[in-house]
Amino acid sequence: MRHRRLGARATVAALALALLGLGSGPALAHAPKPSSPRYTALDLGTLGGAYSSGVALDRDTVVGSSALADDFEWHAFAYDRSTRVMTDLGTLGGTSSSALDVEGRYVIGDSTLADGNSRGFVHDLRTHRTHTIGTFGGSGSQVSGIDGGVVVGSARTPGDQNTHAYAYDARTRVMTELGSPVGPDGTSTATGISEGRYVAGTWDHPGTPFEGGHAFVHDLRTRAWTDLSRYDNGVSSKVTSITGHTVVGTFQPKPDGPSDRPPERGFAYDIRSGVWSDLGPEMAYRPIVTGHTVLATTRPGAYAYDLRTRTLSAFGPGPGRTYINGVAGKYAAGDTNPGPFAYVYRVDTGAFTLLPALGGVHSTASDVDRRGAAVGNSALASTDPSSPDGVYHATLWTVRHG
């Protein structure tokens, strides 16, 4: 897979409120010094409003969301890294939209319709056309990831009784319903896709709370389902990330007694070999995989787990959590707490670099590419003496050379 991100699927309004909260009030912690002046921060601007936030990137494009001039409505944007032009991707007839990821010519995201419901979309940067991802008879759909031109997510069934995972080919615009291992009455949602073929996510039985769930992998070529929950002998499980032939997630072990609730644990599954591995409780918070390394947040800092050597190593500045929001190749990016302070971590060398803000103090990184460039948002200089930060703008951090 090109890369993999983690992030909350918040509404555009919630994102706006989060940015407003970060830009006011006292600092949560004194800003630490960046490890070295290796990165340059570029302000990507806005679509006319005060706030914007970068979400994902590839070598040519940054995508995210920005407030419009009224600072109330938010639209998805695509920023051309060569021309430095930000383009408003509009909506599907509603008032707001948000971008989730980009792969070459395709930007994926979610948008409101004129009736207030939400649908996933694919925007073609070459043709400048936006295509709506439909439903399975219900009111809405949403996107989760893209790889090899195939978009995955979930869509509602008739009467909004269930959600079913789907695979949508951005080139042919054909949408395939994946259903569930227990038939059409079961629920499923896709978390991600790798190699344009392997879809990973969570499914559940009919009529049961979807929050429980069972991890799965679906092969689009063979149409074979693999129920990963059969390996863990637990109560529930879910997928959080997939890259290449490796799926990672978390599972809840069965209690030993009526009052016992063991801590959640992380797992990894190799699609080629069929080997399932218990990664332990240290890897139970939002595990994300890149290559042969699984990363997860802990307290303090974060852990990196090498799947080849079965060794665990800690990273991060401490004393709070180090959140991992995106990985690609040898790099991971996220933010620290206390803070937030954006960072880039190099998995192979252990180098941990704090990233500069745009004149303010705080920042967050949402994604990183294979060259170590990161995207997110950071604070401009404050005009209010009582606040350490000004407004937040989408930010691209690139490695300095020379």
192-210 pLDDT per residue, tens? 999 999 999 999 988 776 5
From the list 218, 228, 272, 223, the residue with the least C-alpha distance to 248 is 228
Helix (H) or strand (E) holding 42: strand 39-43
**What pTM was estimated for this model as a whole?**
0.91
| Confidence band for 11, pLDDT divided at 50, 70 and 90 | very low
pLDDT, average across residues 218-229: 95
Mean confidence (pLDDT) of the chain: 90
Q: Do residues 328 and 42 touch, judged by C-beta distance below 8 A?
A: no
Closest CA relative to residue 355, chosen from 299, 314, 313, 317? 317
Interior angle at CA 337, CA 336 and CA 338, nearest 5: 120
Distance, in Å, from the CA atom of 97 to the CA atom of 114, rounded to the nearest integer, reads 12
pLDDT at 33: 52
Strand partners, 23: none
Q: Which residues contact 323 (CB under 8 A, 6 or more apart)?
A: 286, 297, 302, 334, 335, 336, 337, 340
CB-CB contact of 95 with 82 (8 Å): no
Q: Which H or E element spans position 321?
A: none
Q: Range with the lowest mean pLDDT among 31-45, 87-101, 278-292, 335-349? A: 31-45
The tokens of 399 are what? 């490695």
With bands split at pLDDT 50, 70 and 90, how would you rate the model's confidence at 261?
Answer: confident
Q: Residue 323: beta bridge partners?
A: 335
Instruction: Say what percent of the chain tops pLDDT 90.
Output: 81
Nearest to 162 by CA among 135, 128, 132: 135
Q: Where are the beta strands (DSSP E) in 195-330?
A: 198-204, 214-219, 225-227, 234-243, 246-253, 265-270, 276-280, 288-290, 293-297, 302-306, 311-315, 322-328
